[in-house]
Amino acid sequence: MRKFLILLFGLLLITGCTKQEEKVKTMIEKKYNTNITIQYPITNISKLDQIVKKDVKEKYQDFLEQQKEFVEIAKDAEFNIDYTYHQVDDHYEIITLRFFSNSTLLSNPLYEISTYVFDTKDHEMKTLKDLISSTEIDKLQDKILKELQKKYPDCLLLDQAKKELSDISHLHFTFDHENFYFYFDPYEIAAGYFDIMEVSIPIEQIGLTIDLELGESKKTYQPVEKTTRIIDPDQKSIAITFDDGPSNYTNEILNVLKKYDASGTFFVIGNKVEIYSDTMRRMVREGNEIGNHSYSHKWLTKLDQEELKEQIQLTQDIVKKVTGVTPRLLRPTYGAVNDKLRNSTSLEVIMWNVDTRDWESHNVDTIVKKTIKNTKDGSIIIMHDTKKQTVNILEQLLKKLEKEDYQFVTVTELEKIKQMRAYEK
């Protein structure tokens, strides 16, 4: 029987089987004609997590109430919460939440931002006044204003910006080892501009009352190693794909795949890749494929050209950094694709022809039966590695399909099999 080798990139073996804690809360759903994506980090610092969760819940509920009231006219709406999260000097936990909403009820998309700087030593939130000497406040206000004028000369409302800067304790800000970053809701200080406004000031130019290690080196990852997979082009083959991860369930899914000598294709959301870096590296080491599913799960076909390309490129970059692999496949968010999307990327857009709908029901047996009924040689199956029930669904699915003599391959391997078969005809 003919066989061929697929060379893949692999990394060091990830050992241990302890259950992973949730690191990113992810909710992706559709409600009241609205595509909803909510993501925010879990720090396991109770006080900070409670504050963040409360803010997310309030924003989400406010939007839902509005959509529910006008559901008949609120078509093609979107609600998205994105985040950044990092630690500075081992005791500053810093989170940024970006809120985006859009619907026919709004004349323009709505962008909002919240920032959280938490000191784990004092166990409290910090404002700028806690970190910057009082004698430097006026100087900092002038510097921020100059940066705003330089970056947003055509839309900045100068008097409004000065008013906003008059009480610096309420400013949205974050920092790392190089810069302080300041954020402004555009509706407060600008005209005709709708996205979050951001400026940065080098730390050396700010009179801090705290000591920071400046210019900390960025995290690097070990080089990849090569491994192989043996694929039989004559055997019935299917590709199982996973969207919206990684998550705290992804390692359990990898355990199931490994048990059945299966490989899958994981279409990942870029803003979670580094937080789940060990999981990502394990994915690749064990012969799975990584695809691109945008950076923050925004509705790609609704974005302008610049933001569309940014959503894709940011994920390409972070996956390459963490795993050494550059994705060649793209799974569009919400399954929405158009010519603008296809023409904006060189990645191959991959859809599916069997939908498990694992997000919709907890009835594992029903999902498995329907999926097997619709599966045939060459099928691409969609699942979601953010759902707990998906682990059980996958286990039952592979067990039954293995008895039907299927092999479980990546999307790229499935493409190669189809090419080889076509060549032989």
* CATH code of the domain in which 414 resides: 3.20.20.370
Task: Evaluate whether 260 touches 398 at the Cβ level (below 8 Å).
Answer: yes
**Each residue of 244-297: pLDDT tens digit?**
999 999 999 999 999 999 999 999 999 999 999 999 999 999 999 999 999 999
Domain count across the chain:
2
Instruction: Mark whether 142 and 173 lie in a shared domain.
Output: yes
The reported pLDDT for the residue numbered 134 is 85
* Domain boundaries, position 280: 4-17+229-424
The reported pLDDT for the residue numbered 310 is 97
The reported pLDDT for the residue numbered 33 is 84
- In terms of Cβ atoms closer than 10 Å to its own Cβ (0-12, 13-18, 19+), residue 366 is exposed
CATH assignment at residue 113: 3.30.565.40
**Active-site residue set:** 243, 384
223 in any annotated domain: no
Task: Evaluate whether 224 touches 284 at the Cβ level (below 8 Å).
Answer: yes
Instruction: Mark whether 177 and 278 lie in a shared domain.
Output: no
Three-state secondary structure of 121-164: CCCEECCHHHHECHHHHHHHHHHHHHHHHHHCCCCECHHHHHHH
pLDDT confidence bin for 216, thresholds 50/70/90: low
Q: What is the pTM of this model?
A: 0.91
Task: Evaluate whether 37 touches 80 at the Cβ level (below 8 Å).
Answer: yes
Over residues 307-323, the mean pLDDT reads 97
216 in any annotated domain: no
Instruction: Mark whether 285 and 332 lie in a shared domain.
Output: yes
210 in any annotated domain: no
* Strands 236-245, 265-268: pairing kind: parallel
CA 17 to chain centre: 24
211 in any annotated domain: no
